[in-house]
Amino acid sequence: MRALCYHGKQDVRVDTVPDPEIVNPRDAIIQITSTAICGSDLHLYDGVIPAVAPGDVLGHEFMGRVVETGPHSTLRKGQRVVVPFVIACGACYFCGKQQFSACDNSNPVDKQEMSETLYGSPMAGLFGYSHLTGGYAGGQAEYVRVPFSDVGPVVIEDDGLDDDKVLFLSDILPTGWMAAENAEIESGDVVAVWGAGPVGLFAAQSALIMGAARVIVIDHYPHRLALAKGLGAEIVNFRETDVREALLEMSGGRGPDAVIDAVGMEAHGFSVDNMLDIAKQKVGIGADRASALKQAILAVRKGGRLSIPGVYGGMTDKFPLGALMEKGITLRTGQTHVQKYTNKLLAMIAEGKIDTTFLISHRLPLEAAAEGYANFKNHQDDYTKIVLKPGMES
């Protein structure tokens, strides 16, 4: 089959690799119909996530048709499914608590040790996201092997719901939702969201649905900010405006009740700190750039809530720990517990309460994936979200 493989820093290529097979009894094989490139993939692309090996198939946002099932899969051939990027067994202590992204049983035992050393606990398996999280082949491919196929995949019965409407159930829609849930939004809240990428946009949309009075989205890309405005959010361009001052003024002088960092470890910006962190990342010292996060901590009101859906992989320097403690900020974060939200969000999509298609800027054949990565990286304003269609003529 054809699949998008990692070769090195900013070097990905569509190669021919062996088709996947059923390996474990609960597996299914999915033929991919749509698969997206995510902001998280850019962290891999830029080489800031450890343990990505040449030849690894990337991609964790995908859907398609079931073509093969293991003896213990509950799926049937021909079913249309969206697959969560988090691989979860459904039976362990963490899955029992609906903390699916903490699943104990999805990351192969020998691969657990890397993350255990780095983080103190072993991480769950994720599709196409380095060997820290299992080294599972991803879905930017024609076919993918899906373990625990009886737990994760969401069956889409209604063929009237086309791929573009439901694909994002695999990651960014639940991620935006959980980001807002982690911010414990109450009606009347002023909420600030850093990053008008897919995650930030869905977080803003979710916050509004949850009753926030004002949602303010911060970025520097005009087109992305326009999308935020289209959702009913207000916008702040950090290149033109003093963000902290603006947020204070837009929240009655108190600071936002809740802040969401939907930027993650590759924040843009020209503060001294951030430039230093960029330099460190370039020489491979492994510092996460966290300028958006630092700004969010200073901006939030005392006793406010901080939610971090943005991905961080290692250490960061000069973290404003004093502000976090002295202001009494509540902090919640994590890889998304996708399986916890899919049914609820699917129902909201079917009822027309949530639209996800506004995000998609480009639909490309799988063969154009490498070019897609480069454009998503270098032309973020125009390329808000790329969906690859393996079946599409190139």
Ligand X SMILES: NC(=O)c1ccc[n+]([C@@H]2O[C@H](COP(=O)([O-])OP(=O)(O)OC[C@H]3O[C@@H](n4cnc5c(N)ncnc54)[C@H](O)[C@@H]3O)[C@@H](O)[C@H]2O)c1
Residue ranges in contact with another protein by CB under 8 A: 18-26, 72, 89-93, 96, 104-113, 125, 134-137, 145, 147-148
- Residue from 49, 199, 227, 299 touching ligand X (CB under 6 A): that is 199
* Stretch of 66-74, 138-146, 165-173, 317-325 contacting Zn ion, by CB under 5 A: 165-173
Q: Are 13 and 51 in contact (CB under 8 A)?
A: no
Q: Please give the distance of CA 57 from its chain centroid, rounded to a whole number.
A: 17
| Nearer CB in complex with Zn ion: 135/264 | 264
Contact stretch for ligand X (CB under 6 A) within 1-9, 27-35, 162-170, 306-314? 306-314
* Identity of the residue, 144 or 388, whose beta carbon is nearer to another protein in the bound complex: 144
Question: Quick one: what does residue 224 bind among another protein, Zn ion, ligand X, none, with the CB cut-off 5 to 8 Å set by partner type?
Answer: ligand X
Among 36, 38, 144, 183, binds ligand X (CB under 6 A): 38
Angle made by CA atoms 275, 279, 281, in degrees to the nearest 5: 115
Side-chain-facing half-sphere of 139: CA atoms under 13 Å: 34
Asked if 84 interacts with ligand X (CB under 6 A), we say no
Residue nearer to ligand X on the CB measure, 196 or 329: 196
* Separation of CA 363 from chain center: 19
- Which two tokens mark 265? 């470890």
Minimum CB separation of residue 258 from another protein in Å reads 30
267 is a site residue for ligand X (CB under 6 A): yes
Q: Is 70:24 a contact under the CB 8 Å cutoff?
A: yes
| 306 near ligand X, judged by CB under 6 A | no
At its nearest, how many Å lie between ligand X and the CB of residue 5? 20
Residue 174 to residue 202: CA distance in whole angstroms: 8
**Other CB atoms closer than 10 Å to residue 224's CB: what's the count?**
25
C-alpha closest to that of 142 among 12, 20, 7: 20
Q: Which of 103, 246, 258, 349 binds Zn ion (CB under 5 A)?
A: 103
When the beta carbons of 124 and 185 are compared against another protein, the nearer one is: 124
Helix axes 172-182, 198-209, angle to 10 degrees: 50
**Amino acid of residue 153:** P
| 3-class state of residue 19 by DSSP | coil
Applying CB under 6 A, does 362 fall inside the site for ligand X? no
CA dist., res. 103 & res. 174, Å (int): 17
Distance, CA of 167 to CA of 62 (rounded, Å): 6
Of 75 and 86, which CB lies nearer to ligand X in the complex structure? 86
Minimum distance from CB of 24 to another protein (Å)?
4
State how far the Cα of 164 lies from the Cα of 170, in Å rounded to an integer.
Answer: 12
Residues numbered 171-190 forming contacts with ligand X, rule: CB under 6 A: 171-172, 175
CB of 271 to Zn ion, least distance (A): 27
Spell out the residues 6+ positions from residue 129 whose beta carbon is closer than 8 angstroms to its own: 40, 44, 49, 58, 60, 85, 136, 138
Phi, psi at 150, each rounded to 5°: -85, -10
Is 220 a binder of ligand X (CB under 6 A)?
A: yes
Select the residue interacting with ligand X from 210, 262, 345, 387 (CB under 6 A): 262
Q: Which residues bind ligand X (CB under 6 A)?
A: 38-40, 42-43, 171-172, 175, 194-200, 218-221, 224, 238, 262-264, 267-269, 291-292, 309-311, 335-336, 380
Q: Which residues bind Zn ion (CB under 5 A)?
A: 38, 40, 88-89, 92, 95, 103, 105, 171
